[in-house]
A and B are shown apart, each in its own frame.
Chain A
Amino acid sequence: DTEVTQTPKHLVMGMTNKKSLKCEQHMGHRAMYWYKQKAKKPPELMFVYSYEKLSINESVPSRFSPECPNSSLLNLHLHALQPEDSALYLCASSQDRASGDRADTQYFGPGTRLTVL
C-alpha cells in the first residue's frame, strides 16, 4: 500500500473561518510533509514532521498551524486565511528524513483544493 489519503478533496472557506485539512498514511513512514501548490507551479514546502516532531517550518505564516497527532496522521489547521492562500495543499510522506543510501522517496496524496473567499 503506497497510498496517502487527504480529506477533504475540496474546501471553500471565508476569511474568518477555522478549518482543518487531514492527511493519513499507513506505510509506516516516519516523515510527513505539507506542500502548497499554486496553479502551474511546482509544490512549495511548508512543513516537515520527522518522528512526530516538527523539524522544518519554511517561514509559514501562523495562520497555518500543523499538527501530528501520531505517526500516521498529519493535520493542517487553518484560521483567518487570505484569498491568496487559495491553492492545492499536498501532503506527502517518506520512510525517514535521514538520507543514508536510501532514496527516501516522498509519496504524495491527491491534495485538497482550497478556495478562500
Chain B
Amino acid sequence: GEDVEQSLFLSVREGDSSVINCTYTDSSSTYLYWYKQEPGAGLQLLTYIFSNMDMKQDQRLTVLLNKKDKHLSLRIADTQTGDSAIYFCAERGSYDKVIFGPGTSLSVIP
C-alpha cells in the first residue's frame, strides 16, 4: 500500500541548515510535495518536485529526490525562528489521492 514516513521531531539552531527527511513506498508517484503548517493554521504549499527530477531549488529551500531509494528531503538554509512549524511530506499516489506523512515538527532555537 501507499505509505509516507517522516521523523517526528527536529531541533536546530537559528542560522543553521535544517534537513527534513521523508520516505515513501509508491514507486508510481508522479509528484511529491512539501507543506508547512503553523499552529492553528491550514497547510501552506512550500514546493513540489516531479518524479523525473532529482533536485529543485527555490530560494532557501532545496528538495532532493532519490527515486531509487524512494527518499525525499527538504533542506532549509539559514533557518529562522519563523520556520518553526510542522512540515508534511506528501505523495500523489493512486487515484490521484495525496498521501501525507505524519509531519515533522521543526523547532528553531534562537
Bound pair: A and B? Answer: yes
Docked CA distance A97–B98 (Å): 11
* In-complex Cβ contact of A110 among B42, B88, B97, B103 (8 A): B42
Q: How many A-B residue pairs have CB under 8 A?
A: 54
A4 / chain B contacts, CB cutoff of 8 Å: 42
Docked CA distance A100–B96 (Å): 10
Docked CA distance A4–B92 (Å): 21
- Asked whether, in the complex, the Cβ of A108 is within 8 Å of the Cβ of B92, the reply is no
Question: Closest CB-CB distance, B66 to chain A, in whole Å?
Answer: 20
- Asked whether, in the complex, the Cβ of B103 is within 8 Å of the Cβ of A40, the reply is yes
A59 / chain B contacts, CB cutoff of 8 Å: none
Closest-by-CB residue of B relative to A107 is B45
Docked CA distance A40–B40 (Å): 11
Q: Using a CB–CB distance below 8 Å, which chain B residues touch chain A?
A: 30-31, 33, 35, 40-45, 48, 50, 86, 88, 92, 95-98, 100-103, 105
Other CB < 8 Å A-B pairs besides A40-B86, A106-B45, 10 of them?
A: A41-B102, A42-B102, A43-B88, A90-B42, A99-B92, A107-B45, A108-B42, A108-B43, A109-B42, A111-B41
Q: Using a CB–CB distance below 8 Å, which chain A residues touch chain B?
A: 4, 6, 40-43, 45, 56, 90, 92, 97-99, 101, 103-111, 113
